[in-house]
Amino acid sequence: MVAAVSRPKVLLVGRIEYAFEEWAEIEKLCEVVLTGKFDDELLEALPESVRYICNIGAGVDSIDLQACKRRGIQVSNTPSLAADGVAETVFFLIFGVLHRAAVPLHTARKGTLMMNKVIGLVGSGHIAQAVAFRARAFGMRVQYCTHSESSPSLENCTRTSFSEVIKASDIISLHVPLNDSTKNVLGKDQFDMMKPGAAIINTARGEVIDNAELCRAVQSGKVWGVGLDVYEQELHIPDEMREDDRFFILPHIATRTREIRGAMERVVIENLQAGIFAIRKDDGGDEGRLQNPV
């Protein structure tokens, strides 16, 4: 009697929304286990045989990367595919903030224009680059700060210090991952440095801003308006933000288009296929190399 060949197991966190046909092919190759949010407790409970974690989206702050590295688990994400959708959402939020779109239309006509505004980008990754491209098309002047090497796509923008971005920008847009060095990167000191009437756009992570200080800056009039697609606690929006028309808020929808989400799912599925084939061959060759390793 021939023993049945065991199939690799894939843990699906959440659900597939668009790439159904591609996911059906994965299900032919492996056993699929469904679960909820990928937190530290889940990571600790995973068996030693786990070799790959493939994340749909740019953010990996919900995955303990150091623990993964210690256990030899490869992690991938889909940062470049999110860039256009998030950049478009940034400008939707800028329109909303500058034109006070959260208030009735007759008062929205009292808003301000984007032409000749200085937009300051904190970060220089794929999303920041996509925002800079669109900002220049709107006649805005772009300055940015980064710890990374400058990208050729930002060569017509001004690279400067973090403090100069904060002090000299009419609009400040955040494009950094959440980690120990970026948590509350905008706090009281930074709000004190800003131009009166500055606007804040955050499509990164809610915790990169000290939200208590943000609300104080808005209430004092120092900050003209705020556009948010992310929050300290996802979709738990503080009353001070919900009830103040100077906050233009969205429920984390920047990448929720069929094209972008489908493309992100397909990259993750391709990474899973590469991992499954590598496990079957029991090697770490080319078949096990992931797109966008973290």
> pTM for this one?
0.70
Contact 93, 248 (CB under 8 A): yes
CB 173, CB 198: distance < 8 Å: no
Residue 24: which residues within 8 A CB-CB, separation 6 or more?
A: none
Q: Is 109 a catalytic residue?
A: no
Helix/strand/coil percent split, the chain, to 5: 40, 15, 45
In the prediction, which pLDDT does 65 show?
84
DSSP code, position 176: -
- Given the residues 31, 234, 256, 259, the one annotated as active site: 234
Q: pLDDT tens for residues 58-86?
A: 778 778 888 888 888 888 888 777 788 88
Domains of the chain: residue spans and CATH? 9-77+258-288 (3.40.50.720), 82-249 (3.40.50.720)
Q: Is residue 236 annotated as a catalytic residue, yes or no? A: no
pLDDT value of position 283: 54
List of E strands, 36-76:
52-54, 74-76
Q: Which of 205, 246, 261, 266 is catalytic?
A: 205
Q: Known catalytic residue: 99? A: no
- End-to-end Cα separation, the chain, in angstroms: 44
Strands (E), 103-190: 118-122, 141-145, 158-159, 171-174
Low-confidence ranges of the chain (pLDDT < 70): 1-6, 14, 33-41, 101-113, 235, 280, 282-288
pLDDT in tens, 111-124: 566 788 999 999 99
- Provide CB contacts within 8 A for 282, sequence distance 6+: none
Q: Of 51, 252, 280, 289, which is the active-site residue?
A: 252
